[in-house]
């Protein structure tokens, strides 16, 4: 990319138009990087991160995809201050403009979405420092032990608690809160509505019990609990590695929880911005045609997954339309006349305000739950497929297109950022430092093989026996409790 191109890539223009539409940004910077570096950023999640074979595996996957021409306009943008975006130098100019428009919308989302607002904005430098420390650990303690620890830490990296972003709490603080002493501790930032209701003072027995108990109340932040309480993790470097994994997971949690919204928002806006640029003749017809081609790739159907760019932008468009025409509320819902509904238009023009409000408050789980309707499901032809055994091969067959069932399952898959809720119940089980975990059953069982392997990792971190209470795969009602138990002999399953 030469200077003339760089000048043409005048991001001030895009920023100006985006501001006119009412988007609101953190200062934005763009780095233009070669393909190899781009693929590395995608695989390592950050521009510079520590070494691990799983990143290497992902790198190879990205490279294969790239070499086989699954070319999409590559772009990554980080929630940092200033926001940092990486563009691939091989993107042709109209695509680079598209990507910059897309990035500005991400930027607006990160600045304004409540789940992003609360994350740290120095992760890029933090990760690159961690990379240096980890390399030193490899030299000092051996590559294998570092790798094993990262393996184990990553196996529970998503078993964290998003409340930790709002208000980190030590065990002592949690105890105080549960004693009922913590009236003074009011969270800053107006999140009182999402915090647990403060409980009344406890009885003497309850307080004694509370003093003894660890954790004082069940916690879903397994990783934090292990870092702070493991009987065998004594060395600082071990805690540093696990803490780094945890802080990166906390940093990426909002990305995970708003994937559909975030990409949908960016796609919705890059389309608007590009059309404006074309209308104002900043883009030639040829360039615009080129953009259209790539834009259709961005929004392409994926037969084996839901494309968040497609679903997210469709939902925002649907919300905008509905709030422009007033197609919401009890009156509209109650209307049973199909024709009347079809022509329903109160000329409210509240669409733009509504989507901005939604981008501020929601995450995917609520977003899909609240706004996915029959029209969008049918429009996008969303479905559920299953692998059907055909003797010598498996057919992937469309099995469910009913929008209510599909929506229910999709919402379920998005709850708790797609991770089963597993809580630490007791860190001193049987009064002998054994770890007791409980899977909160919400309709789907745990995958047994993954569960066993994860327990092996957890056992290597905890050093003492670990229990996991869940339910049997075929148990649909109450009962059928299944407890996995792992000690140095390996994993055993016990049905109670």
Partner 1 sequence: MAVLKPDFDSSPRGPTDAARHREKIKEAIKRDLPDIISDEAIITHSGDRIVRVPVRGIKSYRFIHRHSDGAQGGFGSGESEEGTVIGRRPKPGDGQPGRPGEQPGEDYLETEIELAELVGMMLEDIGLPNLRQKEVQETVVSKGWKQDSIEKHGVAPRLDKKRSIKEAIKRTEILVQNLMLNSGMDEDECRTALDAAQGDFGNALRLLRTAKNVSLPILGTGRPADPSGIFLESSDLRFRTIVEDTEYQSNAVVIAMMDVSGSMGTMKKYLARSFYFWMISFLRVIYKRVEIRFIAHTTEARLVDELEFLHRGESGGTSCHSAYDLATALIDTEYPTSKWNVYPFHFSDGEDWDVDRTVKSLEKMLERGVANFGYGELRTEHSSSVLMDTYRKRLGLEESNFENLPYFSGLRGQSPVLGVIIRNKADIYPALRIFLRSGKPGKAGKAMVLT
**Footprint (CB under 8 A) of partner 1, residues 262-281:** none
Q: Given candidates 23, 160, 306, 355, which one binds partner 1 under the rule CB under 8 A?
A: 306
Residue 66 Cβ, how far from partner 1 at the closest point, in Å?
A: 12
Residue 184 Cβ, how far from partner 1 at the closest point, in Å?
A: 36
For the record, the structure tokens of 492 come out as 């055993």
Beta strands 28-33 and 83-88 are parallel
Residue 44 Cβ, how far from partner 1 at the closest point, in Å?
A: 7
Burial of 142 (0-12, 13-18, 19+ CB in 10 A): exposed
Interaction residues for partner 1, span 387-446 (CB under 8 A)? 387-401, 406, 409-410, 413, 419-420, 422, 439, 444-446
Comparison of 233 and 423: residue with beta carbon closer to partner 1: 423
**Which residues, including other chains, have CB under 8 Å from residue 322's CB and lie 6 or more apart?**
328, 351
Q: Please report the DSSP string for 210-249 in residue order.
A: HHH-SSSS-BS-HHHHHHHH-SS---HHHHHHHHHHHHHH
Comparison of 57 and 120: residue with beta carbon closer to partner 1: 57
Query: What is the rounded end-to-end Cα distance, in angstroms, of the chain?
Result: 66
Q: Given candidates 19, 125, 302, 349, which one binds partner 1 under the rule CB under 8 A?
A: 302
CB contact at 8 A, 291 and 95: yes
Interaction residues for partner 1, span 200-229 (CB under 8 A)? none
CB contact at 8 A, 162 and 253: yes
Interaction residues for partner 1, span 32-51 (CB under 8 A)? 32-33, 36-37, 39-40, 43-44, 47-48, 51
Q: Given candidates 188, 286, 337, 474, which one binds partner 1 under the rule CB under 8 A?
A: 474
Q: Single out the segment in contact with partner 1 by CB under 8 A; choices: 306-314, 349-357, 367-375, 426-434.
A: 306-314
Comparison of 182 and 416: residue with beta carbon closer to partner 1: 416
Distance, CA of 142 to CA of 86 (rounded, Å): 33
For the record, the structure tokens of 475 come out as 């148990």
Burial of 482 (0-12, 13-18, 19+ CB in 10 A): buried
Comparison of 167 and 299: residue with beta carbon closer to partner 1: 299
Distance, CA of 365 to CA of 5 (rounded, Å): 41
Give whole-number Cα distances, 132 to 129, 204, 346, in Å. 5, 50, 60
Stretch 140-169: interaction string toward partner 1, x if CB under 8 A: --------------xxxxxx----------
Comparison of 426 and 480: residue with beta carbon closer to partner 1: 480
Interaction residues for partner 1, span 10-29 (CB under 8 A)? 10-12, 27-29
- Residues in the chain, total: 496
Residue 313 Cβ, how far from partner 1 at the closest point, in Å?
A: 13
Residue 99 Cβ, how far from partner 1 at the closest point, in Å?
A: 12
Residue 306 Cβ, how far from partner 1 at the closest point, in Å?
A: 5
Report the run of H or E that residue 495 belongs to, with start and end: strand 490-495
The verdict on 198 binding partner 1 (CB under 8 A) reads: no
Interaction residues for partner 1, span 50-109 (CB under 8 A)? 51-57, 59-60, 63, 82
Residue 453 Cβ, how far from partner 1 at the closest point, in Å?
A: 4
Q: Single out the segment in contact with partner 1 by CB under 8 A; choices: 195-203, 229-237, 300-308, 337-345.
A: 300-308
Residue 481 Cβ, how far from partner 1 at the closest point, in Å?
A: 16
Report the run of H or E that residue 286 belongs to, with start and end: helix 285-298
Residue 58 Cβ, how far from partner 1 at the closest point, in Å?
A: 9
CA 246, distance to chain mean position in Å, is 14
Beta bridge partners of 486: 466, 491
Comparison of 58 and 240: residue with beta carbon closer to partner 1: 58
Residue 154 Cβ, how far from partner 1 at the closest point, in Å?
A: 6
At residue 170's C-alpha, the angle toward residues 165 and 174, to 5°, is 100
Comparison of 4 and 197: residue with beta carbon closer to partner 1: 4
Q: Given candidates 382, 461, 466, 482, which one binds partner 1 under the rule CB under 8 A?
A: 382
SS3 call for 153: helix
Report the run of H or E that residue 138 belongs to, with start and end: helix 123-141
Residue 328 Cβ, how far from partner 1 at the closest point, in Å?
A: 24
Q: Single out the segment in contact with partner 1 by CB under 8 A; choices: 68-76, 268-276, 284-292, 470-478.
A: 470-478
Distance, CA of 319 to CA of 197 (rounded, Å): 32
The verdict on 329 binding partner 1 (CB under 8 A) reads: no
DSSP type of residue 180: T
């Amino acid at each position: 990319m030469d200077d003339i191109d760089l000048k043409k890539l005048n991001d001030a223009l895009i920023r100006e138009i985006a501001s006119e539409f009412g988007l609101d940004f953190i200062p934005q910077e763009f780095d233009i990087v070669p393909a190899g570096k781009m693929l590395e950023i995608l695989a390592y999640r950050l521009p510079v991160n520590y070494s691990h074979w799983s990143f290497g595996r992902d790198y190879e996957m990205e490279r294969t995809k790239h070499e086989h021409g699954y070319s999409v306009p590559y772009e990554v943008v980080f929630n940092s201050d200033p926001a940092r975006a990486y563009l691939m130098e091989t993107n042709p100019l109209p695509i680079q403009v598209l990507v910059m428009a897309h990035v500005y919308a991400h930027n607006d989302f990160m600045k304004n979405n409540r789940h992003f607002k609360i994350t740290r904005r120095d992760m890029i430098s933090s990760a690159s420092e961690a990379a240096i420390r980890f390399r030193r650990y490899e030299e000092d303690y051996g590559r294998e032990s570092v790798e094993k620890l990262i393996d184990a830490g990553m196996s529970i990296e998503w078993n964290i608690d998003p409340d930790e972003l709002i208000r980190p709490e030590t065990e002592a603080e949690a105890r105080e809160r549960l004693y009922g002493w913590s009236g003074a501790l009011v969270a800053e930032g107006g999140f009182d509505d999402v915090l647990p209701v403060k409980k009344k003072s406890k009885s003497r027995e309850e307080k004694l019990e509370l003093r003894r108990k660890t954790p004082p109340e069940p916690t879903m932040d397994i990783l934090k609990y292990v870092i702070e309480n493991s009987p065998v993790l004594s060395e600082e470097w071990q805690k540093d590695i696990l803490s780094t994994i945890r802080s990166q997971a906390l940093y990426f949690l909002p990305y995970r929880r708003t994937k559909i919204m975030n990409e949908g928002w960016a796609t919705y806006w890059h389309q608007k911005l590009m059309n404006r640029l074309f209308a104002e003749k900043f883009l030639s017809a040829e360039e615009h045609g080129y953009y259209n081609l790539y834009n259709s790739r961005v929004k392409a159907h994926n037969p084996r997954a839901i494309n968040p760019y497609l679903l997210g932008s469709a939902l925002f468009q649907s919300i905008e339309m509905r709030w422009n025409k007033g197609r919401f509320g009890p009156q509209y819902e109650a209307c049973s006349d199909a024709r009347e509904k079809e022509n329903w238009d109160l000329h409210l023009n509240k669409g733009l305000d509504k989507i901005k409000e939604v981008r501020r408050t929601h995450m995917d789980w609520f977003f899909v739950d609240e706004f996915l309707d029959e029209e969008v499901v049918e429009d996008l032809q969303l479905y559920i497929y299953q692998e059907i055994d055909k003797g010598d091969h498996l057919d992937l067959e469309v099995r469910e297109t009913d929008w209510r069932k599909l929506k229910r399952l999709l919402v379920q898959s998005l709850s708790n950022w797609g991770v089963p809720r597993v809580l630490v119940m007791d860190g001193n089980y049987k009064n002998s430092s054994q770890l007791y975990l409980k899977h909160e059953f919400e309709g789907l069982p745990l995958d047994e093989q993954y569960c066993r392997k994860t327990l092996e990792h957890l056992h290597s971190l905890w050093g003492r026996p670990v229990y996991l209470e869940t339910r049997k795969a075929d148990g649909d009602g109450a009962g059928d409790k299944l407890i996995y138990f792992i000690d140095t002999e390996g994993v055993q399953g016990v049905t109670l």
